[in-house]
């Protein structure tokens, strides 16, 4: 029952891949199939032409005239020319189709990553799947296409040559098919074992790729040199390679023995079939041309059967790898999209009611019974030590995750009823670990609001508000300078400069909700003061949330939530919390004293 299910899944997967490839470039694929059908027909014609050539040569020796032999030789040459042309044409179509498939799969993969919610990416297995898809999907899809097209060619050849052999003896054709079965079985078995080995190594090889990439990043080189970390990392990488080399030696020795035994058995059986053909030809008084045709037909039949079985074996192997791509494309977001549009003019409050949350595969709650209310037009601060739950709370507000218990409301309406895209359009955010895109300055900022990507007036205004205009003027190509040193004519920015780019990105969003996660973490005191003065203007009329552990930043906020171990332990204005003389008061004093001592 299990094998029947496996076969069914195999066929369904192949059909899905065929559909994916055909929708990419249907006419090119059809032309590729036609080329291979014609090549299969030409092989059968060539077998017959060789028979006629051999017979005409034998006849020429008797009558002393070689013009018929020359004619058949020219026909064989013509066949060879047609075969070469069809082969080159097939390669051309295949390479163009591959480019289309590459583009199509990349588009689907990027679309799926955009569609899936954050929770999907909290699972390490997700990254193993992405690694397998990135490394194998295009090559395996093309391999499936090539094998399927080749199957058509091999089957066409098989039908043609088997007709020739059957005219001599039906048993010969049957025997030639039977002797190929052991090789096919061994090939399938070894392909499955190799896939299992590959799957067992994915996570470690992903680590190797990550470490190599880490060693090549410009920002990391200085630390790697000072700590001499490259020596340790190189040893760690080489140990993994050495482990797999030793394993491969063991496995490949076993595979070699299995193939050698089956190849020997096939050679003996194939020789027996040829002796049988010789015997039959002798009994039936066939010509030398007939005998040559039968042997040539047998060779082509064995080759076509062998190729058919290799193609099926390759399809089986490719199917094992392609399951990761199909699984990823079939994944669905665990966040259900709402239908209600989030409109700026109608929005006034966000409320958390007894919200509990923990990350997937984690037993401990990160947020515990959070209840709070935020109003449009006010600036809020989320304060607390690292791990207190500040950033997680904001992730739920942005609906990157849903609460496990409790609800979040926008003006009394559950946030789940709003469409995700309309929510995201109205939230501007500067994450602590913001993305450094290897793009131009204007693209790095413009990505905050794609509609303004080519509007330099708005981009320059956003950059000026973030205080990034001065250093951008000194870059080699100004706003067209590619950021990151790894690229031609690229420039490296300091941490503070990058932070200003990230702030400009959020400014350009023109969102009604602004979230700033440690926005001044990499800024010097002068730049920090300048940024916060400009942010006072930027925050006007918006709901702004400042995540910070710097208590000096609280002078621009209207209300403070103090968090600890996933709970809100205090809330109020700065004056209220200082009067209460609890946790906020003691931490504020501690930071103030540390600052005074450093002066």
Q: Is 88 exposed, middle or buried (0-12, 13-18, 19+ CB in 10 A)?
A: exposed
HEC assignment per residue over 347-402: CCEEEEEEEEECCCCCCCCCEEEEEEEEECCCEEEEECCCCCCHHHHHHHHCCCCC
Dihedrals phi, psi of 27, to nearest 5 degrees: -70, -40
Per-residue pLDDT of the chain (599 residues; tens, 9 = 90+): 455 666 677 778 778 888 888 888 888 888 888 888 888 888 778 877 877 777 787 777 666 667 777 888 888 888 889 989 998 998 888 888 888 887 888 888 888 888 888 777 777 777 777 777 776 676 777 777 777 777 777 777 777 777 777 776 777 777 767 776 777 777 777 777 777 787 788 778 878 887 887 777 766 776 676 667 778 788 888 888 888 888 888 888 888 888 788 778 777 777 777 777 777 777 777 767 677 777 777 777 777 777 767 777 777 777 766 777 788 888 888 888 888 888 766 678 999 999 999 988 888 999 999 999 999 989 999 988 888 888 899 999 989 899 999 999 998 899 999 998 888 888 888 888 888 888 889 998 998 888 888 899 999 989 888 888 888 888 888 888 888 777 777 788 888 888 888 888 888 888 888 888 877 666 666 767 777 776 776 777 889 898 887 777 677 788 999 999 999 999 999 889 889 988 888 888 887 776 555 55
CA–CA separation, 506 and 20 (whole Å):
38
Q: Please report the sign of the dihedral spanned by the C-alpha atoms of residue 252, residue 258, residue 260, residue 263.
A: negative
The predicted structure's pLDDT at residue 25 = 84
CA–CA separation, 482 and 473 (whole Å):
13
CA–CA separation, 111 and 31 (whole Å):
29
The predicted structure's pLDDT at residue 594 = 62
Strand partners, 355: 370
CB 567 within 8 A of CB 370: yes
CB 152 within 8 A of CB 40: yes
The predicted structure's pLDDT at residue 357 = 94
The predicted structure's pLDDT at residue 352 = 95
HEC assignment per residue over 551-590: HHHHHHCCEEEEEECCEEEEEECHHHHHHHCCHHHHHHHH
Q: What is the fold of 349-597? A: Rossmann fold (3.40.50)
Question: What are the domain boundaries of the chain?
Answer: 1-330, 349-597
Of 397, 465, 403, which Cα lies nearest the Cα of 427?
397
Q: What is the fold of 1-330? A: ABC transporter transmembrane region fold (1.20.1560)
The predicted structure's pLDDT at residue 560 = 92
CB 173 within 8 A of CB 301: yes
The pTM assigned to this predicted structure is: 0.69
Strand partners, 379: 544
The predicted structure's pLDDT at residue 316 = 73
In three-state secondary structure terms, 426 is: coil
Sequence-distant (≥ 6) Cβ neighbours of residue 251 within 8 angstroms = 193, 194, 197
CA–CA separation, 503 and 444 (whole Å):
11
């Amino acid at each position: 029952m299990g094998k029947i299910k496996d076969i069914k899944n195999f066929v369904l997967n192949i059909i899905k891949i065929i559909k994916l490839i055909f929708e990419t470039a249907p006419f090119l694929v059809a032309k590729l199939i036609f080329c291979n059908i014609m090549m299969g027909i030409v092989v059968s014609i060539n077998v017959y032409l060789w028979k006629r050539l051999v017979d005409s040569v034998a006849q020429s020796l008797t009558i002393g005239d070689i013009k018929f032999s020359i004619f058949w030789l020219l026909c064989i040459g013509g066949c060879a020319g047609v075969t070469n042309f069809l082969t080159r044409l097939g390669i051309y179509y295949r390479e163009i189709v591959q480019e289309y498939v590459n583009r199509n799969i990349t588009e689907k993969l990027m679309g799926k990553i955009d569609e899936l919610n954050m929770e999907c990416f909290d699972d390490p297995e997700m990254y193993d799947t992405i690694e397998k898809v990135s490394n194998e999907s295009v090559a395996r899809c093309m391999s499936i296409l090539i094998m399927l097209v080749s199957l058509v060619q091999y089957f066409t050849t098989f039908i043609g040559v088997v007709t020739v052999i059957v005219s001599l003896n039906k048993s010969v054709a049957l025997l030639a098919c039977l002797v190929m079965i052991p090789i096919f079985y061994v090939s399938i078995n070894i392909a499955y074992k190799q896939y299992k080995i590959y799957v067992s190594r994915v996570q470690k090889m992903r680590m190797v790729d990550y470490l190599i990439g880490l060693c090549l990043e410009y920002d990391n080189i200085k630390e790697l040199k000072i700590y001499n970390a490259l020596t340790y990392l190189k040893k760690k990488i080489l140990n993994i390679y050495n482990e797999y080399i030793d394993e491969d030696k063991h496995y490949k020795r076993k595979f070699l023995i299995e193939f050698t035994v089956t190849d020997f058995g096939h050679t003996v059986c194939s020789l027996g079939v040829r002796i049988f053909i010789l015997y039959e030809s002798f009994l039936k008084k066939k010509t030398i041309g007939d005998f040559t045709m039968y042997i040539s037909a047998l060779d082509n039949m064995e080759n076509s059967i062998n190729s058919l079985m290799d193609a099926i074996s390759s399809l089986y192997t490719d199917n094992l790898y392609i399951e990761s791509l199909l699984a990823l494309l079939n994944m669905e977001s665990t966040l259900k999209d709402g239908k209600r549009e989030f409109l700026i003019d109608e929005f006034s409050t966000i409320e958390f009611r007894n919200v509990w949350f923990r990350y997937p595969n984690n037993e401990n709650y990160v947020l515990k019974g959070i209840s709070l209310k935020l109003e449009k037009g006010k600036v809020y601060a989320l304060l607390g030590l690292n791990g207190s739950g500040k950033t997680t709370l904001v992730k739920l507000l942005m609906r990157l995750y849903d609460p496990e218990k409790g609800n979040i409301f926008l003006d009394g309406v559950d946030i789940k009823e709003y469409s995700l895209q309309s929510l995201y359009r109205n939230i501007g955010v500067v994450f602590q670990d913001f993305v450094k895109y290897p793009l131009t300055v204007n693209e790095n900022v413009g990505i905050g609001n794609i509609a303004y990507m080519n509007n330099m007036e708005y981009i320059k205004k956003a950059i000026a508000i973030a205080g990034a205009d001065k250093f951008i003027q000194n870059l080699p190509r100004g706003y067209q300078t590619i950021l990151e040193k790894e690229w031609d004519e690229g420039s490296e920015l300091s941490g503070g400069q990058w932070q200003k780019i990230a702030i400009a990105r959020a400014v350009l969003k023109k969102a009604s909700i602004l979230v700033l996660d440690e926005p001044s973490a990499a800024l010097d005191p002068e730049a920090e003061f300048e940024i916060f003065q400009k942010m006072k203007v930027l925050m006007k009329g918006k709901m702004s949330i400042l995540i910070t552990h710097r208590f000096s930043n609280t002078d621009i906020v209207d209300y403070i939530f103090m968090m600890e171990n996933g709970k809100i332990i205090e809330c109020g204005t700065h004056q209220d919390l200082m009067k209460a003389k609890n946790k906020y008061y003691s931490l504020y004093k501690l930071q103030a004293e540390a600052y005074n001592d450093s002066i």
